[in-house]
Each structure stands twice: as structure tokens, then as C-alpha cells.
Chains A and B, each alone.
Chain A
């Protein structure tokens, strides 16, 4: 168990809908990362937060947004969902915002858009 908690584990929804994925980092970790893994693709970096502030942005669509709250948990909001958004979404945390820190991954949320 990495100590990173993601909810829900599975989510099934329809095109056009909006969902929120939640991540609680390991106790004491200040940095949270979000990744997307689609079929036959590697993990794609979406966004990183450090202590409540956005630190880095990857290939995140405009329909997606995220935030990190004062208690350090993070939410990834996906809106106007399309079939192609079906994927495994991982959250990871690390102790500080330092580049190169080990990341601890949650178990992921599997999103199915029908």
C-alpha cells in the first residue's frame, strides 16, 4: 500500500457528462501529480500541484481541470466527456516539489465513458 488513496476505483458515465476524481496524498507529501493511461499508451503526465499551487502542466485538455486543497487532497475534474477520455487515471504524490523525488502512486480510477 503506497499510502495514496484514490476514489472512486471505477466510474462509468455517459458522453457529455462531468466527473470528479479524488486523490489523497501520503501523509506529509506536499506534491500531487495526475496521469492518464489510455489503451496501449504509456502514462501521460497531466498536471502537478505543490502545496496548493499549480507547478507544471502537461498534455491536459482544456475540458479538464484540477486543484489541490488546503488539506492537500486533490481533485481532477473532467467535463464534456468524450469516448476517448476512457482511461485509467493515476494520482501520485511526493514529499516535496523537488524534481526527481520518488513518486508514490495510488491504485488509479478507471473511467469508462459510454
Chain B
């Protein structure tokens, strides 16, 4: 059974702090990893699609890195703002040929003003 784990489960930071969290996935049979941001009462919104070992993606104050050999991805938020409060989900896609995305349970981030 393929398992995707995210840590921590939840996180409270002060406005202006930088933070990061982890998505761990099976290191074999990697095809792609997605990061999503999910605000309360809204639908998940894609942040990044990562496919290559060593990939680094950036969108404003949010960035992500990927290590497929050891099976993890980090999401970083620089200078957190209250509007960054959301659940951040990662989704792992095993080797091409299957389309069965496996989602982690997310990291719930709360940024305190």
C-alpha cells in the first residue's frame, strides 16, 4: 500500500515568520508530485506540479523543492501572512501508466496577525 505522509499535521505561526512543511512519499516508482492549497469553504487550488529530482518551483512567497531519491518534498512560505492560512496538500502520482493520485492528509497552517 502506497502511503503519503505530511508533517506537521497543523502549525501556528506569527505573521512575518517563515515556515516549511514536508511531504513524504515512496521513493520508488515516482512520476509526479502536486502541491495544493485548500482554504476553508473553497476547493483545492494547484500550486505546483513537480516531476524532476531536484526541481525547485516558486510562486511569490511560496516555493517547493523535490527529492525523489529520498522521497520527500518541502514547501516553504517566506514571511507568512494571514491570507496564507489554509491546508496545504500534496498528491503523489506513481509511475506513469496509473492515474491514481494519492493525497496526504495535509498540513493545516494558521498565520496569526
- Interface of A toward B, CB cutoff 8 Å: 2, 4, 33, 35, 40-45, 48, 55-58, 90, 97, 99-108
Q: How many A-B residue pairs have CB under 8 A?
A: 62
8 nearest A-B pairs in the assembled complex, by CB-CB distance: A100-B32, A56-B99, A105-B43, A43-B103, A42-B105, A102-B46, A42-B103, A105-B44
- What A residues does B106 contact at CB under 8 A? 42
Q: In the complex, what distance in Å separates the CA atom of A55 from the CA atom of B100?
A: 10
Q: Are B46 and A99 in contact (CB under 8 A)?
A: no
Answer yes or no: B93 CB below 8 A from chain A CBs. Answer: yes
- Interface of B toward A, CB cutoff 8 Å: 4, 31-32, 34, 36, 42-46, 49, 51, 89, 91, 93, 96-106
CB distance from B53 to the nearest CB of A (A): 14
9 A-B pairs (CB sep. < 8 Å): A4-B43, A35-B103, A48-B99, A90-B44, A100-B49, A102-B34, A103-B34, A105-B36, A105-B43
Q: Are B44 and A99 in contact (CB under 8 A)?
A: no
Instruction: Known A-B contacts: A35-B103, A105-B43. Give 6 more (CB < 8 A).
Output: A43-B89, A100-B31, A100-B51, A100-B93, A101-B49, A107-B42
A107 interface neighbour in B43, B89, B96, B105, Cβ under 8 Å? B43
Q: In the complex, what distance in Å separates the CA atom of A35 from the CA atom of B51?
A: 22
Of the candidates A40, A57, A90, A101, the one having the most CB atoms from chain B within 10 angstroms of its own CB is A101
Of the candidates A33, A57, A105, the one having the most CB atoms from chain B within 10 angstroms of its own CB is A105
Q: Are B89 and A104 in contact (CB under 8 A)?
A: no
A99 interface neighbour in B32, B89, B104, Cβ under 8 Å? B32
Q: In the complex, what distance in Å separates the CA atom of A48 from the CA atom of B101?
A: 10
B45 interface neighbour in A2, A41, A108, Cβ under 8 Å? A2
Q: Are A90 and B100 in contact (CB under 8 A)?
A: no
- What B residues does A102 contact at CB under 8 A? 34, 46, 49
Q: Are B43 and A99 in contact (CB under 8 A)?
A: no
- What A residues does B105 contact at CB under 8 A? 40-42
- What B residues does A43 contact at CB under 8 A? 44, 89, 91, 103
Q: In the complex, what distance in Å separates the CA atom of A42 from the CA atom of B105?
A: 4
- What A residues does B51 contact at CB under 8 A? 100
